[in-house]
A and B are shown apart, each in its own frame.
Chain A
Amino acid sequence: MKFSESQIRSIAPDEASMKAGKGLSSKNSWVTIGQNDRVLWGEIKGSGAKPYQTQIDLLNIAFKCSCPSRKFPCKHGIGLMLVLVSDPNAPTQTDEPSWVAEWINKRAVKSEQVIVEKTYTEEELSKLEKGKEKRAEERAVAVEDGVAELTLWFKDLIKSGLIHLPNKDLSYFNKTSARMIDAKAPGLASWVKSLSNLNYASGNDWQLEALQIICKTFLLLDAYKNIGQQIEEMQVTIKNLIGWSQSPKDLLADDSQPIIKDIWLVLGQEEKTNDDIIVQKTWLLGLHTNEKAMILNFGTKFSPMPISVMKGSILEAEMVFFPGETRQRAIIKLQNQMFDNVPKLPELLEDFEQAIDLDRANIAKNPWWNDTIIVVKNVRLLKNQNQVYAIDSVNNLITICPDMLQNIVLNWFVICANGAKITVGFIRNGNFHALGIFKENNYIVF
Chain B
Amino acid sequence: MEKIINEILNTALIGTDKKAADYSILDADILNPLEQISHNDPEEKLIRAAALLIYFHEAGSKLKKYKGPAIENIQESSEQCGPIFAHQLEKILILDINLKDFFLGLWLDKIIGKNQIAREDQILTLIDEGIKSNQFLRNKILQTIGEKGKIILSFKPAFSVGTPYKSGIQKWIEGSNAERLEFIAENRLIAFDLIKKDWNSESIVFKKSVIEIISKDSNADEILFIQELYDNEFVFKAKEKKTEREIRNLLALKLVTIPNHPLHQLLVDKIKSYCVEEKKGGFFGLGNTITRAFKLPEKPDEFFNKDHFNARLGVEPVNNDSALYINEVNYLFANLLPFISTAEWASLLNQKHSDVFDYFLKDKQFLTLIEGKKISYLQQALYESCFNFAERELILYLFDQSFMAHSQIQDLIPLLNSDDLLFWLKSQKNPFSSNYVMFWTQKNGIWDKSFSHTILSDSYEHIVKNNKYTSESISRQMAKFVHLDAETELEKLKNKLTQDTYSDHWLKIVYKPLKEAIGIRKIIDQY
Report if B99 contacts A (CB, 8 A).
no
Within 8 A of A (CB), among B89-142: 90-91, 94, 120-121, 123-124, 128
Which residue of A has the minimal Cβ distance to B149? A414
Within 8 A of B (CB), among A213-246: 214-216, 218-219
Report if B429 contacts A (CB, 8 A).
no
Quick one: CB contact mask for B13-36 with A, threshold 8 Å, 1 for yes? 111111000000000000000000
**Contact among A158, A215, A397, A415 for B15, CB-based, below 8 A:** A158
A-B contacts, 5 listed (Cβ < 8 Å): A29-B512, A154-B47, A384-B68, A396-B64, A418-B75
Within 8 A of A (CB), among B145-178: 148-149, 151-152, 154-156
Which residue of B has the minimal Cβ distance to A405? B155
The answer on a CB contact under 8 Å between B121 and A215 is no
Given A218-B48, A395-B66, A413-B152, verify A159-B9 contact (CB < 8 Å).
no
Identify which of B9, B47, B59 gathers the most chain A CB atoms within 10 Å of its CB: B47
The answer on a CB contact under 8 Å between B13 and A207 is yes
**Contact among A19, A28, A211, A397 for B12, CB-based, below 8 A:** A211
The answer on a CB contact under 8 Å between A161 and B72 is no
**Hey, which chain A residues are within 8 Å of B9, CB to CB?**
207-208, 211
Per the bound structure, the CA–CA distance linking A158 and B121 in Å amounts to 50
Given A356-B63, A383-B151, A396-B65, verify A419-B516 contact (CB < 8 Å).
no
Report if B290 contacts A (CB, 8 A).
no
Report if B283 contacts A (CB, 8 A).
no
**Interchain nearest-CB distance for B80 vs A (Å):** 11
**Hey, which chain A residues are within 8 Å of B91, CB to CB?**
26
Report if A212 contacts B (CB, 8 A).
yes
Q: Which residues of B contact A (CB under 8 A)?
A: 5, 8-9, 12-18, 41-44, 46-48, 50-51, 54-55, 58-59, 63-68, 71-75, 87, 90-91, 94, 120-121, 123-124, 128, 148-149, 151-152, 154-156, 504, 507, 512, 515-516, 519
Per the bound structure, the CA–CA distance linking A385 and B44 in Å amounts to 44
**Contact among A22, A215, A352, A380 for B51, CB-based, below 8 A:** A215
- Total inter-chain residue pairs, C-beta < 8 Å: 139
**Interchain nearest-CB distance for A319 vs B (Å):** 29
**Hey, which chain B residues are within 8 Å of A398, CB to CB?**
63-64
Report if A136 contacts B (CB, 8 A).
no
Identify which of B16, B87, B152 gathers the most chain A CB atoms within 10 Å of its CB: B152
Identify which of A159, A207, A353 gathers the most chain B CB atoms within 10 Å of its CB: A159
Identify which of A86, A160, A208, A418 gathers the most chain B CB atoms within 10 Å of its CB: A418
The answer on a CB contact under 8 Å between A414 and B43 is no
Quick one: CB contact mask for A147-160 with B, threshold 8 Å, 1 for yes? 00000001110111
Per the bound structure, the CA–CA distance linking A139 and B101 in Å amounts to 62
**Contact among A19, A45, A363 for B94, CB-based, below 8 A:** A19
**Contact among A163, A367, A382, A410 for B13, CB-based, below 8 A:** A163
If A159-B16, A413-B151, A418-B74 are given as contacts, then 7 extra A-B residue pairs at C-beta distance below 8 Å, sorted by A number, are A25-B94, A159-B42, A207-B13, A208-B5, A389-B66, A418-B73, A418-B75
Per the bound structure, the CA–CA distance linking A154 and B47 in Å amounts to 9
Report if A417 contacts B (CB, 8 A).
yes
**Contact among A215, A218, A395, A410 for B65, CB-based, below 8 A:** A395
**Interchain nearest-CB distance for B62 vs A (Å):** 8
CB-CB nearest 8 A-B residue pairs: A161-B15, A215-B51, A419-B73, A155-B43, A22-B94, A397-B66, A396-B63, A158-B43
**Hey, which chain B residues are within 8 Å of A219, CB to CB?**
51
Report if A411 contacts B (CB, 8 A).
yes
Q: Which residues of A contact B (CB under 8 A)?
A: 5, 19, 22-23, 25-26, 28-29, 45, 86, 154-156, 158-163, 207-208, 211-212, 214-216, 218-219, 352-353, 356, 360, 363-364, 367, 380, 382-386, 389, 391, 395-398, 405, 407, 410-411, 413-415, 417-419
**Contact among B5, B44, B512 for A155, CB-based, below 8 A:** B44
Which residue of A has the minimal Cβ distance to B91? A26
Which residue of B has the minimal Cβ distance to A383? B151
The answer on a CB contact under 8 Å between B72 and A419 is yes
**Interchain nearest-CB distance for B13 vs A (Å):** 4
The answer on a CB contact under 8 Å between B71 and A382 is yes
**Hey, which chain A residues are within 8 Å of B8, CB to CB?**
211
Per the bound structure, the CA–CA distance linking A45 and B120 in Å amounts to 35
The answer on a CB contact under 8 Å between B71 and A419 is yes
**Interchain nearest-CB distance for B243 vs A (Å):** 48
The answer on a CB contact under 8 Å between B63 and A353 is yes
The answer on a CB contact under 8 Å between A211 and B43 is no
**Interchain nearest-CB distance for A289 vs B (Å):** 27
Given A418-B74, A419-B71, verify A161-B66 contact (CB < 8 Å).
no
**Hey, which chain A residues are within 8 Å of B15, CB to CB?**
158-163
**Contact among A86, A163, A216, A414 for B123, CB-based, below 8 A:** A414
**Contact among A26, A356, A410 for B124, CB-based, below 8 A:** A410
Given A414-B120, A415-B121, A418-B73, verify A161-B17 contact (CB < 8 Å).
yes
The answer on a CB contact under 8 Å between A216 and B512 is no
Per the bound structure, the CA–CA distance linking A139 and B459 in Å amounts to 73
Identify which of A22, A367, A389, A414 gathers the most chain B CB atoms within 10 Å of its CB: A414
**Interchain nearest-CB distance for B93 vs A (Å):** 8
Which residue of B has the minimal Cβ distance to A219? B51
The answer on a CB contact under 8 Å between A419 and B90 is no
Per the bound structure, the CA–CA distance linking A28 and B46 in Å amounts to 69
**Hey, which chain A residues are within 8 Å of B121, CB to CB?**
411, 414-415
**Interchain nearest-CB distance for A355 vs B (Å):** 10
The answer on a CB contact under 8 Å between A417 and B124 is no
